[in-house]
Structure 1
């Protein structure tokens, strides 16, 4: 019960801060307060407005809101989100463009399960939809998944990707961002032996920890200095009675958010101070730059305890991917079996989460892949977020990825009946 109490204590603290912000905003907005000029009320109203929005957004999954676009013929195209495969812990979704015939190539965008929702890649999707059929992994918040659904760890995650790749077929280009990079690589290697004809045409791996020790960061240092017992005792909590996943052991999204913010605490503190100043001056807007970023950044989800712990132990501590010792469903996957899937690595020079070199290590594992099918790019001055959603992505990286995909798109591969993989 103590884990439920600590989980509910965090939610109570969040709810209290949201209430304080709403109360301050309502009090300072009362018409009586406007009878005489009072700068203190303007500051109180601004503080309340920013505080309420900040803490309210932490528990709500953002909408996709993929904007309409105009094609080359000048026709407006609307984007709908369809579920292709539904699973307890995550779905395969399709960003279907209304009244457009399916086009080539097809992209499977693998979103991270690292505390944020898949909507963190909204801008990435928006930039790809006009030119490709875009599919994506949409992971669920663990607090909303009943205990009866069972466990979900890194092996289950990998098997989900295997199943999604088989569903989309061999003429698919996979792009994995951040945390799922090593698991997308493992899923491809799994298919290389299980069902070679279902492998994707290409893999674009963006800023992920294939070998965390290749260039250590604060994230890898943390994983190295704590024991698994310490992590389980200090980071894992049990979902309270408020949610469908009551009793499930999770790594709470609020704890993950605290970790994210602590890495750049001064930057975030300055951002919120400046936003309060803008709100007091009447210069803030509902969809200004600050709100557009933090509406997404602060929306967090819980991860299952077994996924979080197995990621730390197997990917970071034991480096099973980096050592080519990763096992899925009792079978060791061999990255050397990947022989005809083109692989491109994208890293950011200023990435402080998956530093340059961590993702590049994937190429050394691909001993069976010809060098002509390997490519890499380090984006100057780009941080972690910028390599998939910022200016660096729009202006430099996306054109390179597009060129890579088109270079590895050819005549359709023949499909082959795939073996059934049971997902838990």
Structure 2
């Protein structure tokens, strides 16, 4: 019961702060009050505006905001977001560009389940959509999933990926970003032994912890420093009575958000202080730089307790993927069974979450894959976010990934697999 009470307490505090912000904004926006030339009232209105927006975003799933796409015929085509497979813990979603001829490149973008919604990859989606037939994994918020649906850990996550790949067929090209990198690799290895014809043509792994110890960071140090008992006692709570998942054990999104912010607390405090001053001068808007970033950053989701704990224990502590000892339902998933899927790794030289070396370790596990099917790239000056959504992604990494996909799509006219970078 104590875990449920603490969950409800966090939600009560969030709701209270949202209400305080809305109240301050309403009071200082009243015509009589706003007519008083007092800078303190302007600041209070700015504080209320920013506070209400910030705390309301913490329980709101962002919209994709992709309604149309300009195409080669000079027209804007409507984009319909279709659910291909619907499952309790996550769906397979297709961005259907209506009226556009189907693209040759068929890409499955594997979104992370690490505290944020799949919309964290919105800019990645918009950059790939003009050139690809695009699909994405859309994971659900654990607070909204009834306990009757059962557990969901990293084995279940991997099997979801296996089913999604089977649904899309062997012409698919998989791009995994951050947390799902080792599990996407495991899912491909599972298919290599279970159903070889269903394997994707290429697998691009971007900034993920295949071997966390290859280049330790603050994240990996934390995983190694704390015990599983400590994690369970400090991080795990039960969903409160407000949501359909009442009673389910989760790692709450609000608790994750506090951890995210504490890593760069000074930067976040300065960002919000500056935004409050801009709001007090009426210089803010729904789509200004601050709101665009924090509307997504603050929108967090709960993870199932078993997924969070099994990720820490099996990926970071036991290093099952790095040692090629990962099992699903007691069955060894042998990564060396991958023999035909071209694999490319992408890392950021300044990535402080999945540091260089952690992702490229995947290539050493592919002992049966020819060298011409392997490629790697380290982006100079890029941090974690930049390698899949920032300027480095748009200008450098995205073209390399598309070239890699084209080089391994089966056409005789394609280029060599590792043209872009050395294996």
Shared fold by TM > 0.5? yes
TM-superposed CA distance for 1:28, in Å, is 1.0
Q: Aligned equivalents of 1:380 and 1:6: distance in 2?
A: 43
8 Å contact from structure 2 (residues 143, 245) kept in 1: yes
8 Å contact from structure 1 (residues 215, 357) kept in 2: yes
Deviations, residues 197-238 of structure 1 (Å, cap 9, x unaligned): 110000110000001111111111111111001111110000
Task: Specify the alignment match of 1:114 in structure 2.
Answer: 114
8 Å contact from structure 1 (residues 67, 126) kept in 2: no
What is the count of residue pairs matched by the alignment? 412
Task: Specify the alignment match of 2:41 in structure 1.
Answer: 41
TM-superposed CA distance for 1:67, in Å, is 4.4
TM-superposed CA distance for 1:263, in Å, is 1.1
Q: Aligned equivalents of 1:337 and 1:75: distance in 2?
A: 45
Q: Aligned equivalents of 1:255 and 1:285: distance in 2?
A: 28
TM-superposed CA distance for 1:322, in Å, is 0.3
Task: Specify the alignment match of 1:100 in structure 2.
Answer: 100
Q: Aligned equivalents of 1:34 and 1:225: distance in 2?
A: 53
8 Å contact from structure 1 (residues 173, 201) kept in 2: yes
TM-superposed CA distance for 1:329, in Å, is 2.2
Q: Cα–Cα, structure 1 residues 126 and 67, in superposed 2: closer, same or farther, change >3 Å?
A: farther
Task: Specify the alignment match of 1:417 in structure 2.
Answer: none
- Is 1:123 paired with 2:123? yes
Q: Aligned equivalents of 2:406 and 2:271: distance in 1?
A: 40
8 Å contact from structure 2 (residues 67, 80) kept in 1: no
TM-superposed CA distance for 1:301, in Å, is 0.4
Q: Aligned equivalents of 2:346 and 2:395: distance in 1?
A: 14
TM-superposed CA distance for 1:278, in Å, is 1.3
Q: Aligned equivalents of 1:35 and 1:199: distance in 2?
A: 67
- Is 1:268 paired with 2:287? no
Q: Aligned equivalents of 2:269 and 2:350: distance in 1?
A: 21
Q: Aligned equivalents of 1:101 and 1:152: distance in 2?
A: 37
* TM-score, structure 2 as length reference: 0.96
Q: Aligned equivalents of 2:101 and 2:14: distance in 1?
A: 46
Q: Aligned equivalents of 1:103 and 1:331: distance in 2?
A: 37
Runs of 5+ in structure 2 lacking a partner?
A: 413-423
SS in structure 2 of the partner of residue 291 of structure 1? helix
Task: Specify the alignment match of 1:137 in structure 2.
Answer: 137
Deviations, residues 6-37 of structure 1 (Å, cap 9, x unaligned): 00000011111111111111111111113331
Q: Aligned equivalents of 1:194 and 1:177: distance in 2?
A: 24
Task: Specify the alignment match of 2:410 in structure 1.
Answer: 410
* TM-score, structure 1 as length reference: 0.96
Q: Aligned equivalents of 2:118 and 2:69: distance in 1?
A: 21
- Is 1:205 paired with 2:205? yes
Q: Aligned equivalents of 1:18 and 1:303: distance in 2?
A: 23
Task: Specify the alignment match of 2:86 in structure 1.
Answer: 86
Q: Aligned equivalents of 1:363 and 1:57: distance in 2?
A: 39
8 Å contact from structure 2 (residues 71, 100) kept in 1: no
SS in structure 2 of the partner of residue 301 of structure 1? coil
Deviations, residues 335-355 of structure 1 (Å, cap 9, x unaligned): 111111111111111111111
- Is 1:354 paired with 2:351? no
- Is 1:162 paired with 2:131? no
Task: Specify the alignment match of 1:25 in structure 2.
Answer: 25
8 Å contact from structure 2 (residues 69, 97) kept in 1: no
8 Å contact from structure 2 (residues 237, 251) kept in 1: yes
Mapping of residues 333-372 of structure 1, within 5 Å: 333-372=333-372
SS in structure 1 of the partner of residue 58 of structure 2? helix
Measured on the aligned residues, the alpha-carbon RMSD in Å equals 1.0
Task: Specify the alignment match of 1:60 in structure 2.
Answer: 60
Tell me whether 244-253 or 59-68 shows the greater mean CA deviation. Answer: 59-68
8 Å contact from structure 2 (residues 93, 135) kept in 1: yes
TM-superposed CA distance for 1:99, in Å, is 1.2
Deviating above 6 A after TM superposition, structure 1's stretches of 4 or more consecutive aligned residues are none
Q: Aligned equivalents of 2:305 and 2:134: distance in 1?
A: 30
Q: Aligned equivalents of 1:77 and 1:184: distance in 2?
A: 32
Task: Specify the alignment match of 1:151 in structure 2.
Answer: 151
Task: Specify the alignment match of 2:416 in structure 1.
Answer: none
Q: Aligned equivalents of 1:368 and 1:410: distance in 2?
A: 20
SS in structure 2 of the partner of residue 406 of structure 1? helix
Q: Aligned equivalents of 1:312 and 1:78: distance in 2?
A: 41
